[in-house]
Amino acid sequence: MALVKRTEGRLYLAPLVGFLLLFLGFPALLNLVYSVSTVSFETLRSPQISGFGNYVTALTEAAFWQSVWFSLRFGIITAVSECLLGLFLAIFLKPLLSARPVLMAPLMLPLMVAPAMVGLMYRLVLHEFAGPVPYYLYEWFGDSPAFLDYTNAFRTLIVIEVLQWTPFAFLLFYVAYIAIPADVHEAAALDGATGLQRLWRIDLPLMLPTLVVAFFIRFIDGFRVFDNVYALTGSGAGGSTTSLSIYIYQAFFKEGAIGKAVAASVVLFVTSLLVLAGLNWLSARRKR
């Protein structure tokens, strides 16, 4: 009987495994081959294995490490900001949303817009010569910062990313917050716990798994950011807003250095995999 159940389970899993091998396994294997090969657009079908020179080329370029530094800072700052703001909104708006759940819909509107469209929209809104925001700042205060120049572009990108993706963190935290049993709060009130004590000693520990998951999801998404940054500022002056994904794009399409681009993408993939492994390790440790 047990053998039959194991066989049935394998049969149920076979389509999923086949799908993953076909649509994910084969491209991943091909990318590994390209990353250790001398290859161009003319030789895609017949790459020449040349060792780990592409990795050495990518890892010794200053532009690569500049893009890694940008992506790392961008991912950490946006993830922390979105989680803190999302947590505050989840707790602060709970009474209002419990009474009027329909208000949840407009709060989710930023998630409905494609990141590339968000980048194009803010590029028009913040344009130094044609944008309405600089225009009215000049009209009202006589001066306006150049939101997209070398000195301000990073901060502008941070604000735009946080504005768009805070609703994602807020939704996760709100669901986790309302899932806390009411009798736990009632018991804490009977024990004389203040609101701050209840938040610190009860709510946050119970919400910790959701907080960790939301942070890692937003960090990975911020670390590999491409579309909205590329649409808003591109690589920026002197490569100041070149994320790792933009570096890979430029190496592949503009330089034609396919091997180097694929090697850098493998580094990005391994980094994301390590972050996920860390998340799984923390989750397993908590369960113990």
Among the residue ranges 127-131, 135-139, 234-238, the one predicted with the least confidence is: 234-238
Whether residue 2 is predicted with pLDDT greater than 70 in this model: the reply is no
Whether residue 4 is predicted with pLDDT greater than 60 in this model: the reply is no
Question: d(Cα 44, Cα 21) in Å, to the nearest integer?
Answer: 21
Q: Is 225 left (phi over 0), alpha (psi -120 to 50) or beta?
A: beta
| Residue with token string 């990353």 | 35
167 contacts 97 by C-beta, under 8 angstroms: no
User: What percentage of the chain reaches a pLDDT higher than 90?
Assistant: 17
SS3 state at 37: strand
pLDDT band at 192 (very low <50, low <70, confident <90, very high): confident
CA 232 to chain centroid, in Å, comes to 17
Which residue type is seen at 169?
Answer: A
Q: What is the pLDDT of residue 212?
A: 86
User: What percentage of the chain reaches a pLDDT higher than 70?
Assistant: 94
The residue among 209, 241, 213 whose CA lies nearest residue 227 is: 241
Q: Which residue has the higher pLDDT, 202 or 10?
A: 202
Q: What is the pLDDT of residue 150?
A: 81
Question: d(Cα 132, Cα 122) in Å, to the nearest integer?
Answer: 10
Quote the pTM value.
0.85
